Amino acid sequence: MGSAHRSAAGPGPIMYHCTSGKDRTGVTTAILMGLLGVSRADIMADFLLSNDRLAASNNATLDYLISHGLITDRTLLEPIMGVQADFLDSFFGQVRKSYGIIEQFVIRGLGVDAATVAKPQNKLLQQTRRYADNPDPAGWRLTG
């Protein structure tokens, strides 16, 4: 995961994926979103979208396994084919317990230097002036 965060600090775009995009990829995305200051509620909503996006494929896989006699009870595999809020809550809980904040997890836990941690923020966020139509007190917004 540290290499993904170092890649995100590079000059060009980054693409990362896996077959389902829910486990390592989902956590990597949650970490990047956390570093960008995205709210925990929005991170969770994005994480849980995997269930909606994977539903048809997962159902087709389970139907195939049942129709070919490879499993008899689809409920045995359903828990590992999707994501649950508890997964991400547990991850962030352990980060909070061990490191305090996500930036410290990436720096101390993943071994990414602080300058590299700041680069995706500089690359993907732009400072904004506070106007009536932009009440964001942080003064930052996603670019693009």
- What's the domain range around 103? 19-127
| CATH number of the structural domain spanning residue 30 | 3.90.190.10
Residue 73 included in any domain: yes
Both structure tokens of 93: 């809980």
Residue 82 included in any domain: yes
Q: Report the predicted TM-score, pTM, of the whole model to 2 decimal places.
A: 0.74
Compute the Cα dihedral for 125, 21, 114, 138 and give only its sign: positive
Residue 139 included in any domain: no
Q: What is the pLDDT of residue 115?
A: 86
pLDDT level of residue 54 (50, 70, 90 thresholds)? confident
Domain count across the chain: 1
